[in-house]
């Protein structure tokens, strides 16, 4: 009888059509099972493909190369050990045989064949370990010795010399072949003398070395392949994690980060570098979204006002009204241009384009030049201005951008740092350290709440919700971008009362000692310009 599986497997089209509902359900089930198997990766083809991916990794290739080098090295060491040991043992055996040959030759010279027979019988009776002796006549008859007969290899040999042959030995497990190294002597009388040693232990040693080599190579290969697969699987798992994160980020999930295992190896260092890059990209993308939103919000009102003033100028009947409308329009356009210029400066700083033009900058000199410009303005406002700066404070950077950052900090203090009661007290201090230079701008105004000090560094962020004071909310954002461009930072602190803005820049290493020495010769701090009021 045919198996039942055959009747269910090989069905005709008619049978299939007659069972359309049932087979359709079964087909759906089988397809679902196949899909599940494909998705879960448990199919044989998927498993083979996964193993092949592991084998193709660079880690597995390195392990395979190291394994090959190790195996060749072990084989070379064992082969050299066997060769040297065999040479030594064989040399010792040949020296022993040569000594016997000399002794027998002396007896033959003195006593003739009878002396040789006496010596061989005595050696045989003494039972020399491994010693094999034979004296046979011209007819092959054994005259003395412990060999049963003259080996076939020597029966027709007429020249004396070293020979190798095998003999059969009866053991409890049956007859066994043993190897012999001997010296053959053919005498003029037709006598045959064989003096040799059993060298089966040399062949046993060879077999031991061969087995050790094979087992060593086998275990090394097995452990090497297993270790290579394990290491490659771990390596591939981490690479797959990085790949999955990159694909998720490319799909739009910018908050995704590359996993870091904390081992501190090269993959962790790569993951940390990628995460730093992704943080920067996310920050730039967030900034772009905020810029787009804030530009639409903050520039719509000035543009609307500009359009309205232009229309009023067109409808105005008098020349004076038109002149005032045009002057106001120009002022509004200048404000818009300043906003766009600030955005361009921020973009230039965050893109790092200015790093190519970095040079030695004396921050103290920049502070003195900017203070000289703003001191009269603060005095006209009825305030006090003070400058504290050393003779030199060298950093590596862009002089124009550093000056722009200081100007922005001063203008921010002059706009929002005026106290409700009393006069404005504004100070600029340049403080040098071993690792950095601080540019500190302090005022005695209302300050910034602690929870808002990081927020105000973003674009178009203003604490003045009513937008009553002029400005675009880009001043501190530009300063923060310039600080990041110079590998520095902008910190906003409480001045009790007022705000204390600290722009920290790294010191130029090769110029620090020169600046310090000149400052020491000049007396340290420039007290002549310490306070300007």
User: pLDDT tens-digit profile of 129-155?
Assistant: 778 888 888 877 888 888 888 887 787
How high is the pLDDT of residue 509? 59
How high is the pLDDT of residue 172? 66
Using the Cα atoms of residue 38, residue 43, residue 243 and residue 261 in order, give the sign of their dihedral.
positive
What's the pTM?
0.46
* Tokens standing for residue 256: 């995704």
pLDDT band at 46 (very low <50, low <70, confident <90, very high): low
Whether CATH 3.30.450 fits 97-206 = yes
How high is the pLDDT of residue 20? 38
Distances (CA, A) of 443 to 216, 236, 461, 479, 531: 79, 57, 20, 17, 14
How high is the pLDDT of residue 367? 95
Give tens-digit pLDDT for 197-255. 888 888 888 888 888 888 888 888 888 888 777 777 777 778 888 888 888 888 878 78
Cβ(92)–Cβ(265) below 8 Å: no
Mean pLDDT of the chain: 76
pLDDT at 87 over 70: yes
Percentage of the chain surpassing pLDDT 90? 16
Q: Which of 207, 200, 199 is nearest to 91 (CA)?
A: 199
Ordered by start, the domain boundaries in the chain are 2-78+219-250, 97-206, 266-351, 355-520
How high is the pLDDT of residue 137? 84
Using the Cα atoms of residue 138, residue 141, residue 146 and residue 147 in order, give the sign of their dihedral.
positive
pLDDT at 50 over 70: no
Tally of residues, the chain: 533
How high is the pLDDT of residue 167? 81
pLDDT at 37 over 50: no
* Tokens standing for residue 70: 């190790």
How high is the pLDDT of residue 27? 36
CATH topology of domain 355-520: Heat Shock Protein 90 (3.30.565)
**How far is 161 from 121, CA to CA, in rounded Å?**
22
71 by Cβ neighbours in 10 Å (0-12 / 13-18 / 19+) ranks as: middle
Give tens-digit pLDDT for 160-210. 889 888 887 666 666 778 888 899 888 877 888 888 888 888 888 888 888
Cβ(202)–Cβ(182) below 8 Å: no
How high is the pLDDT of residue 296? 65
pLDDT at 110 over 80: yes
pLDDT band at 48 (very low <50, low <70, confident <90, very high): low
pLDDT at 127 over 80: no
How high is the pLDDT of residue 334? 81
**How far is 51 from 101, CA to CA, in rounded Å?**
66
Cβ(132)–Cβ(194) below 8 Å: yes
Q: What is the DSSP string of 217-279?
A: HHHHHHHHHHHHHHHHHHHHHHHHHHHHHHHHHHTT-TT------SS-SHHHHHHHHHHHHHH
Q: Which of 332, 304, 349 is nearest to 459 (CA)?
A: 349
Work out the average pLDDT over 487-499. 92
Percentage of the chain surpassing pLDDT 70? 76
How high is the pLDDT of residue 281? 82
Work out the average pLDDT over 442-453. 90
Distances (CA, A) of 170 to 103, 333, 340: 30, 118, 108
Give tens-digit pLDDT for 316-343. 667 777 777 778 888 878 877 877 776 6
How high is the pLDDT of residue 44? 52
pLDDT at 388 over 90: yes
How high is the pLDDT of residue 16? 37
Cβ(515)–Cβ(394) below 8 Å: yes
Distances (CA, A) of 252 to 163, 273, 287, 351, 414: 84, 20, 16, 22, 42
pLDDT at 384 over 70: yes
pLDDT at 111 over 60: yes
Q: Which of 433, 13, 67 is nearest to 224 (CA)?
A: 67
How high is the pLDDT of residue 52? 67
How high is the pLDDT of residue 7? 36
């Amino acid at each position: 009888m045919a198996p039942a599986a055959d009747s269910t497997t090989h069905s005709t089209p008619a049978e299939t059509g007659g069972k359309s509902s049932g087979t359709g359900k079964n087909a759906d089930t089988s397809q679902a099972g196949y899909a599940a198997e494909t998705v879960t990766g448990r199919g044989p083809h998927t498993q083979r493909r996964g193993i092949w991916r592991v084998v193709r990794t660079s880690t597995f290739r390195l392990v395979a190369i190291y394994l090959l080098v190790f195996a060749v090295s072990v084989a070379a060491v064992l082969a050299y050990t066997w060769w040297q040991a065999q040479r030594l043992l064989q040399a010792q055996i040949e020296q022993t045989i040569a000594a016997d040959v000399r002794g027998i030759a002396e007896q033959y010279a003195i006593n003739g064949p009878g002396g040789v027979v006496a010596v061989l019988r005595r050696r045989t009776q003494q039972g020399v370990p491994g010693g094999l002796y034979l004296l046979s006549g011209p007819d092959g008859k054994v005259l003395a010795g412990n060999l049963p007969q003259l080996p076939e290899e020597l029966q027709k040999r007429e020249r004396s010399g070293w020979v190798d042959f095998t003999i059969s030995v009866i053991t409890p497990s049956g007859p066994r072949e043993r190897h012999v190294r001997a010296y053959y002597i053919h005498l003029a009388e037709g006598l045959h003398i064989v003096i040799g040693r059993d060298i089966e232990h040399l062949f046993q040693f060879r077999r031991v070395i061969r087995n050790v080599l094979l087992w060593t190579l086998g275990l090394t290969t097995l452990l090497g392949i297993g270790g290579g697969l394990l290491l490659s699987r771990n390596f591939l798992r981490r690479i797959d994690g990085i790949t999955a994160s990159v694909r998720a980020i490319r799909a739009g999930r910018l908050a995704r980060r590359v996993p870091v295992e904390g081992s501190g190896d090269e993959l962790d260092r790569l993951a940390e570098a990628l995460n730093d890059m992704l943080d920067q990209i996310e920050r730039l993308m967030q900034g772009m979204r905020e810029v787009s939103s804030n530009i639409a919000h903050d520039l719509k009102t000035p543009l609307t006002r500009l359009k309205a003033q232009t229309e009023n100028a067109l409808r105005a009947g008098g020349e004076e009204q038109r002149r005032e409308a045009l002057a106001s329009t120009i002022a509004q356009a200048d404000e818009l241009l300043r906003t766009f210029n600030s955005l361009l400066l921020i973009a230039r700083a965050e893109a790092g384009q200015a790093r190519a033009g970095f040079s030695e900058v004396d921050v103290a000199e920049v502070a003195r030049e900017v203070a000289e410009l703003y001191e009269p303005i603060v005095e006209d406002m009825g305030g006090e201005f003070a400058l504290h700066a050393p003779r030199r404070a060298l950093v590596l950077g862009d002089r124009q951008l550093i000056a722009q950052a200081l100007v922005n900090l001063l203008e921010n203090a002059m706009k929002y740092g005026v106290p409700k009661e009393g006069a404005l007290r504004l100070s600029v201090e340049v403080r040098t350290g071993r690792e950095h230079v601080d540019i500190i701008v302090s005022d005695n105004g209302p300050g910034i709440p602690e929870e808002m000090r990081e927020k105000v560094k973003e674009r178009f962020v203003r604490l003045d919700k009513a937008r009553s004071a002029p400005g675009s909310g880009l001043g501190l954002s530009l300063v923060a971008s310039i600080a990041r461009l110079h590998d520095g930072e902008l910190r906003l602190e409480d001045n009790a009362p007022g705000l204390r803005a600290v722009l920290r820049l790294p010191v130029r290493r090769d110029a620090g000692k020169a600046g310090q020495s000149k400052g020491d010769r000049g007396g340290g701090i420039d007290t002549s310009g310490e306070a300007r009021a």
